[in-house]
Amino acid sequence: MSKALEGVKILDFTHVQSGPTCTQLLAWFGADVIKVERPGEGDATRGQLRDIPDVDSLYFTMLNHNKRSITLNTKSNKGKDVLVKLIQHCDVLVENFAPGALDRMGFSWERIQEINPRMILASIKGFGPGPYVDCKVYENVAQCTGGAASTTGDPNGIPMVTGAQIGDSGTGLHLALGIVTALFHREKSGRGQRVTAAMQDAVLNLCRVKLRDQQRLDRTQVLKEYPQYPEIEFGDAVPRAGNASGGGQPGAILKCKGWQKDPNAYIYFITQAAVWSDICKIIGEEGWITNPSYATPEARLPHLKMIFARIEEWTKTKTKFEAMDILNEFDIPCGPILSMKEISDDKSLRATGTVVEVDHPTRGKYLTVGNPIKLSDSPTEVTRSPLLGEHSGEILSILGYSATEIAQLKGERVV
Ligand code: COA
């Protein structure tokens, strides 16, 4: 069975996390991804957070599956010649260098278009045009500047970043969509185009509901779904809402049986309006079904803390999985707080290929997150990440270099 992006050739100039997430997705959809790395060192993440000496780190292997690796010094003249051939050979160049690095290398967008007018140039930068356009950016800077940190955390605490890599992997996802859209457009226009995704913009896009709340606050000076209501006066910016959903269906994290010893013995519980009467019956508060102080979502808003405290009295008598089973029978939306240990052992995630075991020649077996996007006619097979420069010879030979020329380039440390 052919893969959805079979035949699409990606020149992968990405490093660290944001760009590699994007090109890994394209590889999983069937594109031929050629990762270009500096001779000798390669992507810095190969050597970061190592758990086994001299072996590619999990950080690298988990972001670079299904790719081929060529080493190339793109600052040498011979390296630039090879790069020109790669640009002619490929459909998309993806990069997440610091601002201006590609230009300094001598490959501006104008030059790339001269070499290959069908080429799509896709870039991730920290910021779009504006005061910070030249800044280097890592994950947490994007979370802070995109509105996530100011709206995340304890209502009385400092701004908080989340473990979900919304700045890096989130932007990589956005860029991947831009690339396939540009490829689709190229079918009609015959031309490539520039695709850019700024990390600040991507985080803000994921924080869209908080900009919604900012405007609601501006107009009404109150956010009744937030834990500050009704005791604490609101300021002029959306506050941190703790674990409250802050949306139309109030939710909270509640203790379950064993919480005193297990840091993850909790459940997220949503008091969806449609199942309010079932919730009341389960916790033994049938009177709340008709009591005017609790009967409607609006009436419940000032009492949410007390309501969740009462529900917690019930959840504390069940394990998070027992509570999940009981609540699901009544279609009450809830979810156990799963640890990474529990997730890595989860049989259903293994069965769907969302958690995959991969074998690596120097590391041995390890777990990774497979493709979360499932295509019925183009299933993903996760294959290991390449060793540094593993495919240099075969890629140079596809570009037309002879065995003697390849040996020369290797001898001169161009590849
Ligand atoms: N051959 C020769 N030189 C190469 C090369 C190659 N194959 N690959 C990279 N280089 C050079 C670059 O041209 C650049 O040189 P220059 O500074 O002289 O122009 C140099 O390596 C360093 O690249 P840079 O991107 O600046 O790396 P960095 O480690 O200093 O910064 C980031 C890392 C992530 C902060 C930066 O790349 C960045 O801000 N990227 C955009 C935002 C982003 O994606 N951030 C999230 C990362 S997860």
> Tens of pLDDT along 68-112?
999 999 999 999 999 999 999 999 999 999 999 999 999 999 999
Give the nearest ligand 1 atom to 20 CA.
48
8 Å CB contact between 4 and 378: yes
403 close to ligand 1 (CB < 6 Angstrom) = no
Q: How many angstroms is it from 126 CA to the middle of ligand 1?
A: 12
Tally of CA atoms within 13 A in the half-sphere of 129 that contains its CB: 0
Q: What is the pLDDT of residues 25-56, one digit of tens each?
A: 999 999 999 999 999 999 999 999 999 999 99
SS3 367: strand
Contact by Cβ (8 Å): 275, 328: no
Tell whether ligand 1 has an atom less than 6 A from the beta carbon of residue 169: no
187-214 pLDDT tens trace: 999 999 999 999 999 999 999 999 999 9
Q: Is 70 in the pocket of ligand 1 (CB under 6 A)?
A: no
CB 64 within 8 A of CB 368: no
Any atom of ligand 1 within 6 Å of the Cβ of 125 = yes
Q: Is 168 an active-site residue?
A: yes
Q: Which residue type occupies 264? A: N
**What's the rounded mean pLDDT across residues 130-136?**
96
Q: Tell me the per-residue pLDDT of 296-313, one tens digit each, with 9 for 90 and over.
A: 999 999 999 999 999 999
> What is the per-residue pLDDT across 156-194, written as a single tens digit (0 to 9) for each?
999 999 999 999 999 999 999 999 999 999 999 999 999
Ligand 1 binding pocket mutation candidate from 62, 93, 97 (most atoms within 8 A of CB): 97
Q: Looking up tokens 């985080």, which residue turns up?
A: 203
- DSSP letter at 159 equals -
Give the H/E segment covering residue 111.
Answer: helix 109-115
What is the overall mean pLDDT for the chain? 97
Q: For the residues 217-245, what does the mean pLDDT come to?
A: 96
Confidence (pLDDT) at 412: 92
Ligand 1 pocket check for 413: Cβ under 6 Å: no
Catalytic residue among 32, 168, 201, 213: 168
> Which residues pair with residue 10 across a beta bridge?
33, 92
Q: How much is the average pLDDT of 366-390? A: 97
SS3 230: coil
Report the percent of the chain where pLDDT is more than 90. 99
CB of 16 shorter than 6 A to ligand 1: yes
Q: Which of the two residues, 1 and 222, has the higher pLDDT score?
A: 222
How remote is the CA of residue 16 from the centroid of ligand 1, in Å? 9
Can you tell me which atom of ligand 1 is nearest the CA of 100? 19
Give kind and range of the element (H or E) at residue 194.
Answer: strand 194-198
Contact predicate 19/94, CB 8 Å: yes
11 pLDDT tier (thresholds 50, 70, 90): very high
Distance between Cα 97 and ligand 1 center (Å): 4
pLDDT of residue 121: 98
| Rg of the chain (C-alpha set) | 26
In this structure, the number of other CB atoms found within 10 A of the CB of residue 6 comes to 12
Give the angle 67-72-74 at the CA atoms, nearest 5°: 125
- Residue 338 CA to ligand 1 center (angstroms) comes to 36
Task: State whether the beta carbon of 415 lies less than 6 angstroms from ligand 1.
Answer: no
Separation of CA 182 from chain center = 21
CA 86 → CA 106, 110, 127, 393, distances in Å? 14, 16, 28, 14
Residue whose entry in the numeric block shows the structure tokens 């309501």: 307
pLDDT value of position 223: 97
pLDDT at 291 over 80: yes
Host H or E run for residue 360: strand 355-360
Mean pLDDT of 215-240: 96
Predicted pLDDT at 1: 72
Residue of the nearest CA to atom 23 in ligand 1? 97
